[in-house]
Amino acid sequence: MTGPTGRARLVAVALALLVMAVLAIALADGAHAAPAPPLDPAAPVAPTDPADGPTISLDINGIDGTPDSSIVVLLTITLLSVAPSLLLMMTSFTKIFVVLALTRNALGLTGVPPNQVLAGLALFLSLFIMAPVLGDVNDVGVQPYLDGTLTFSQALDAATAPLREFMLGQTRQEDLALVTRAADQVNPESPETVPMSTLVPAFMLSELRSAFIIGFVVFVPFLVIDLVVSASLMSMGMMMLPPVMVSLPFKLLLFVLVDGWGLIITALVGSYS
């Protein structure tokens, strides 16, 4: 077997013998190896005292002391969510909207102008009236907080002062006393010490009272026109004809001739001067 086939067979037999020898040595070592003895368990580590001071800190300010951008965004979203309530309770919006709605009813118009138009007009008139107050709020509260010179609580107290001054100027003392007695609270020593929880509802009551007084004054001339038209139709025996259809053109004509919208808006803006 001197050919290539014979040499290949010799190599294969040699490799097989080598593998068998390695396996025999490994099995012999495993059979004679003694198992390792178990180790004793380690003693538990004694607990250590906690470090002094808080272990978690939350800083809402940036590096230079100004509020973090994420905090500003969060406060902005929160303000937008409560803005309708603040607009209704702490500004002139409610009074203006009620007067405009009463004027529409006095004219005998149910859907003209629509509520969206009245609300938009009341909103922009409120912004016009509240512009000085909002400017003071921005100067004494918002900008110092954004600059990092005031904390959030300090900025909130500073920004509330102009609103308190505005609402106190439009609130009657009788309404303040009424809300104070209804809440079973102690009478405040001065108007400046009235809490906001008492001032806001008292301000709303005063605003509604003023709105109804202006609405009554607006209703009187249109009521006279309705009475005159109704008496004229009754005297002519035209009882089947609705008086509203006849009086509506005369009321519109009177309202346009005296520049009714201008007079009402002037009276509303002048009531806050």
Q: pLDDT tens, 79-91?
A: 666 667 777 788 8
Question: Considering only CA atoms, which of 221, 258, 271 is closest in space to residue 108?
Answer: 221
**Total domains in the fold of the chain:** 1
Statement: residue 99 has pLDDT above 90: yes
Statement: residue 160 has pLDDT above 60: yes
The answer, as to whether pTM is greater than 0.85, is no
Does residue 64 belong to any structural domain of this protein? no
Does residue 76 belong to any structural domain of this protein? yes
Assess contact for 211 and 180: CB atoms under 8 A.
Answer: no
61 phi, psi to nearest 5 deg: -100, 160
Structure-model confidence comparison of residues 273 and 2, the more confident one: 273
Per-residue pLDDT at 34 = 54
Calculate the average pLDDT of the chain.
81
Task: Give the pLDDT mean for 16-35.
Answer: 62
Does residue 28 belong to any structural domain of this protein? no
What separation in angstroms does the CA of 180 have from each of 138, 154, 188, 191?
30, 27, 9, 12
Does residue 17 belong to any structural domain of this protein? no
Q: Which tokens sit at 19?
A: 């593998």
Question: Considering only CA atoms, which of 271, 225, 262 is closest in space to residue 247?
Answer: 225
By residue range, what is the domain housing residue 97?
69-270
118: Cα within 13 Å, side-chain hemisphere: 20
What separation in angstroms does the CA of 78 have from each of 139, 148, 241?
20, 20, 55
Task: Give the pLDDT mean for 138-167.
Answer: 85
Does residue 62 belong to any structural domain of this protein? no
Q: How far apart are CA 13 and CA 20, in angstroms?
A: 11
Point out the least confidently predicted range of 37-46, 56-65, 158-167, 241-250. Answer: 56-65
Per-residue pLDDT at 217 = 93
Match 């607006």 to its residue by tokens: 218
Assess contact for 222 and 251: CB atoms under 8 A.
Answer: yes
Does residue 138 belong to any structural domain of this protein? yes
Q: How many percent of the chain have pLDDT more than 90?
A: 28
Structure-model confidence comparison of residues 150 and 123, the more confident one: 123
Q: Which tokens sit at 257?
A: 């001739």
N residues, the chain: 273
Assess contact for 137 and 167: CB atoms under 8 A.
Answer: no
Does residue 105 belong to any structural domain of this protein? yes
Q: How far apart are CA 261 and CA 273, in angstroms?
A: 19
Does residue 49 belong to any structural domain of this protein? no
